[in-house]
Amino acid sequence: MSDFTHIDKDGNAVMVDVGAKSTTERSATARGSVIMNAETLQKIVDQGFKKGDVLGVAQLAGIMGAKKTPELIPLCHPLMLTSIKVHLTCDPDRNAVDIEATCKLSGQTGVEMEALTAVSVAALTVYDMCKAVDKAMHITDVRLVHKAGGKSGEFKAD
């Protein structure tokens, strides 16, 4: 018997049956960063990339990523998201673009994967748009920082 909800007693992958769960307001917030050279960050701030506004495009990509989560993660339920907010900020002290995504819904299962996917896709978009000038960038610290709603209640990362 497994403690994992997506594995049945025979070891097969299964999509969790949430049919009997109560509908509640649920939200999740994830964060991550893209670390880069100082010159790359300044070019983002100055909107100096030929591909366009890096932060604006990455924000839209993050929103689209949240909406596409069940197509990317095999056992995720398709959800009727009521809100997706993705914010990108530049931190010159760390030469970083910091990304935060919050997803909300009223439903029978949580939105952690949607928030994490939004951050991941936004980070990958920053990388894609800047890779011509900085191949040494790295994506780091993608994590869930807050979750609310459902039977398990609230989670806040340390």
Q: Which residues are catalytic?
A: 128
Q: Tell me the C-alpha distance between 140 and 80, whole Å.
A: 29
Which tokens hold the place of 46?
A: 């100055």
Q: Are 90 and 45 in contact (CB under 8 A)?
A: yes
Q: Tell me the C-alpha distance between 3 and 146, whole Å.
A: 22
Which tokens hold the place of 148?
A: 């609310």
Q: Are 124 and 46 in contact (CB under 8 A)?
A: no
Nearest Cα residue to 112 out of 36, 35, 29, 13: 29
Q: Are 28 and 103 in contact (CB under 8 A)?
A: yes
